Amino acid sequence: MTKTVTKTGATDWTSLPHMMLDLARGWHARPMLRHWEGGARDGAWHAITWGEYAHRVAAMAAFLRARGVAPGDRILLVSENRPEFPIADTAAMAIGAVTVPTYVTNTVADHAHILRDSGATVAIVSTHRLAERMAEAAAQAGRTLDLTICMEPGAPGALDWSAAIATPADPAMLLAEAELIPPGRLACLVYTSGTGGLPKGVMLPHRAMLANREGVARIATRLHLDGTPYLSFLPLSHSYEHTVGGFLLPSLGLEVVYSRGADRLAAELKEIQPTVITAVPRLFEVLRGRIEAQVEKDGGLKQKLFRQALALGLRKMDGPPLSLFEKVQDAVLDRLVRAKVRERFGGKLLALVSGGARLDPDLSGFFLAMGLPVIQGYGQTEAGPVISVNPPWANRRSTVGPPLPGVEARIAEDGELCVRGDLVMDGYWNDPDSTSRALVDGWLHTGDVGEITDGYIRITDRKRDFIKTLGGDMVSPAKLESLLMAEPEITQAVVAGEGRPAIVALVVPADGMADKVQAAIARVNGRLSNIERIRASTVVEPFTVENGLLTPTMKVKRRLVLERHAAAVEGLAKRG
């Protein structure tokens, strides 16, 4: 008998295609996806209904099957955020194939590794350039792609997307087939971007992502998000956006609007007026920097009122309680100051979700004090990926919230956070050794050190990322880097000190702030213990995706940064 994972009415959903095609049957004319077509000036937003989505999914599924794609075959999906991505994703899963979402920013070598490791023989790509890169990667990997489909017409060696979705097909027939997919069937391989080393393929069955959906649905229902827009900004190839933006939020009735990119985000927030957006901490740092710069530029009374609004907002959260006069003052400042900040984000946000890395409480406090509903969640690709999230009505910003319903969490003797439940992966593709280390008696060992208080999880460090100095002292680089990047003069930082007598830092200054970095480091050192203090530092070039020092989700690749700047670190260590 098939295991029931989640419900809508009297219908049991056992797989992602089952859920999506079932919803499309009832929501046929309802807008599902919105995307921009055309140039920046002469383009326009276009909506796709659930019914159109279902027809294209059925057509693509029929086309893939006709071309020999069989259950278990792996299909690389390499595309920016656009409607074709979830259509191809759902179609492949519906016929039992396994999708491999892959970053468009990957190098040819990255693609070659994933092709070689996954054994994929089919690729669906968005552009001619990516079709060419995929052919290069296949040659480098010593593999042959049986089929390449390109969303742009006329790509050499590839079939056109438009021809594929013109294949005659019946969504009702595909739905009937999708109802038979068991929850335990492998749905996708998501390669962890990692901060060093080769990425591993995380095996996620349908049950893992449906468990995420069930847990988050209880929060979303209370926020009344049905029928509101969600601005999709993170890449769909990222495990979080793949689950949440690709399946979870659409299934809760939100219309997904695909952002045109970071340079358009500010304008889109005002235009789309989303109720939900998700971001990584790096984006929060950038946004705070822009707001602070504008406040500094305004100066005078505007700057004074902003500082008062920020101070009173923090007081409301952290205490002591406001006096009656301060409450009146705070209400006035809310209309004069905070309302304008909220307007920059569209004015209708109900959840501004941070994930992907630790969000410093001071950083989240800045936005919360200005009336923006920042909530921090926590997860890993290996867990579907959502493990916990702060509910907006009981938000504790120093934590990552309580575990989702259905998720068990405990702290091991060495302080490591472990979780168990339907959300946990099946293991790493072709890597039994890593699997056996990560999964022990059904518990996923997250590699994160934390604590659980009153049901709320707080992450303190990465288990494997402590620095052991020459004196034997254990120092957390995550803590130091977070404190450094909280200073307005510093945008990025990596600290080092393993096996050395002191801690040193590589820092990227904010624009025009290089001469003020040392003062910022001195302020940070004033809040640190003697063994944690940064004894020497140097300014380096920014860490970017293009130079290989940032993952596509804006995480710094610490190991690669330290390797690339090894000579500088050595020199700093001698100075320190």
How many domains, the chain? Answer: 3
The rounded mean pLDDT for the chain is: 91
The strands making up 44-49's β-sheet, listed across from edge to edge, are 44-49, 31-37, 255-258, 229-232, 276-279, 351-354, 374-379, 386-389
**Confidence bin at 462 (pLDDT 50/70/90):** confident
| Statement to judge: residues 482 and 373 lie in one domain | no
211 in a structural domain: no
Q: By residue range, what is the domain housing residue 526? A: 467-575
235 in a structural domain: no
Segment 86-122, tens digit of pLDDT:
999 999 999 999 999 999 988 898 899 999 999 999 9
**Confidence bin at 199 (pLDDT 50/70/90):** confident
| Statement to judge: residues 285 and 382 lie in one domain | yes
- pLDDT for the residue numbered 192: 85
**Percent residues over pLDDT 70 in the chain:** 96
Residues 235-263, mean pLDDT to the nearest whole number:
94
| Statement to judge: residues 71 and 169 lie in one domain | yes
- pLDDT for the residue numbered 575: 79
- pLDDT for the residue numbered 28: 96
| Statement to judge: residues 515 and 501 lie in one domain | yes
List the CATH number of the domain containing 74: 3.40.50.980
Structure tokens at 185: 């069937």
Q: How far is CA 395 from the centre of its chain?
A: 20
| Statement to judge: residues 44 and 71 lie in one domain | yes
- pLDDT for the residue numbered 1: 31
Q: Which of 136, 166, 181 is the last residue of a domain?
A: 181
Residues 453-480, mean pLDDT to the nearest whole number:
80
List the CATH number of the domain containing 536: 3.30.300.30
Segment 481-529, tens digit of pLDDT:
988 998 999 999 999 988 788 899 999 999 899 999 999 999 999 988 7
List the CATH number of the domain containing 414: 3.40.50.12780
- pLDDT for the residue numbered 7: 40
| Alpha carbons 413 and 340: distance in angstroms, whole number | 48
Segment 162-196, tens digit of pLDDT:
999 999 999 999 999 999 999 999 999 999 865 44
450 in a structural domain: yes
Q: Which of 407, 434, 462 is the last residue of a domain?
A: 462
570 in a structural domain: yes
Residues 349-359, mean pLDDT to the nearest whole number:
85
Residues 276-286, mean pLDDT to the nearest whole number:
85
188 in a structural domain: no
**Percent residues over pLDDT 90 in the chain:** 74
569 in a structural domain: yes
The strands making up 490-496's β-sheet, listed across from edge to edge, are 490-496, 503-509, 534-539
2 in a structural domain: no
Q: What is the CA radius of gyration of the chain?
A: 24
| Alpha carbons 188 and 549: distance in angstroms, whole number | 26
Q: Which of 436, 462, 488 is the last residue of a domain?
A: 462
